[in-house]
Amino acid sequence: MAALVSGCTAQAVDTDGKAQPPVRISTTKPGDGDRDGDSDKKGAGKGSDKGGEKPAAAPKPPPKTLLDRGASGPQVRELQARLRQIAWLYENPSGTYGASTATAVKGFQGKRGLPRTGTTDTVTWQKLLGMTHKPTKFELYSGGGIPPSKPDPRCLNGRVLCISKASRTLTWMIDGKAVSTMDVRFGSQYTPTRDGTFEVYWKSRHHVSTLYDTAMPYAMFFSGGQAVHYSSDFATTGYNGASHGCVNVRDEKKIGSLFAQVRNGDKVVVYK
Q: What is the DSSP string of 3-65?
A: EEEETTEEEEB-TT-PBPPPEEPP-PPTTHHIIIIIHHHHHTTTTGGGTSSPPPPPPPPPPPE
Query: Under a CB-based contact definition with an 8 Å cutoff, are residues 146 and 169 in contact?
Result: yes
Question: Backbone dihedral region of 113: left (phi > 0), alpha (psi from -120 to 50 degrees) or beta?
Answer: left
Alpha carbon distance 253, 63 (integer Å): 47
Q: Where are the alpha helices (DSSP H) in 145-226?
A: none
pLDDT at 141 over 80: yes
User: What φ, ψ does residue 2 adopt, rounded to 5°?
Assistant: -105, 145
State the pLDDT confidence band at 119, using cuts at 50, 70 and 90.
very high
pTM above 0.75, yes or no: no
pLDDT at 19 over 60: no
State the pLDDT confidence band at 52, using cuts at 50, 70 and 90.
low
- In the chain, the amino acid numbered 178 is A
Higher pLDDT, 234 or 2: 234
Give the pLDDT confidence score for residue 32 in this predicted structure.
44
Percent of the chain whose predicted confidence (pLDDT) is above 90: 72
Identify which of 227, 185, 189 has the alpha carbon closest to the alpha carbon of residue 209.
227
Identify which of 159, 162, 136 has the alpha carbon closest to the alpha carbon of residue 148.
162
Higher pLDDT, 164 or 9: 164
SS3 68: coil
pLDDT at 38 over 60: no
SS3 117: coil
Give the pLDDT confidence score for residue 71 in this predicted structure.
98
Give the pLDDT confidence score for residue 54 in this predicted structure.
72
Give the pLDDT confidence score for residue 60 in this predicted structure.
80
Give the pLDDT confidence score for residue 4 in this predicted structure.
38
Alpha carbon distance 51, 49 (integer Å): 6
Residue 132's CB is within 10 A of a number of other CB atoms, namely 17
Mean pLDDT, rounded, for 92-119: 97
SS3 106: helix
Quote the distance between the C-alpha of residue 139 and its chain's center. Answer: 9
Give the pLDDT confidence score for residue 56 in this predicted structure.
76
Q: What is the DSSP letter of 201?
A: -
The mean pLDDT of the chain is 86
- In the chain, the amino acid numbered 14 is D
Mean pLDDT, rounded, for 78-97: 97
Alpha carbon distance 29, 240 (integer Å): 77
User: What φ, ψ does residue 173 adopt, rounded to 5°?
Assistant: -120, 140
What separation in angstroms does the CA of 172 have from each of 178, 198, 257, 272? 6, 14, 11, 17
Alpha carbon distance 255, 71 (integer Å): 33
Alpha carbon distance 162, 141 (integer Å): 20
Alpha carbon distance 8, 24 (integer Å): 6
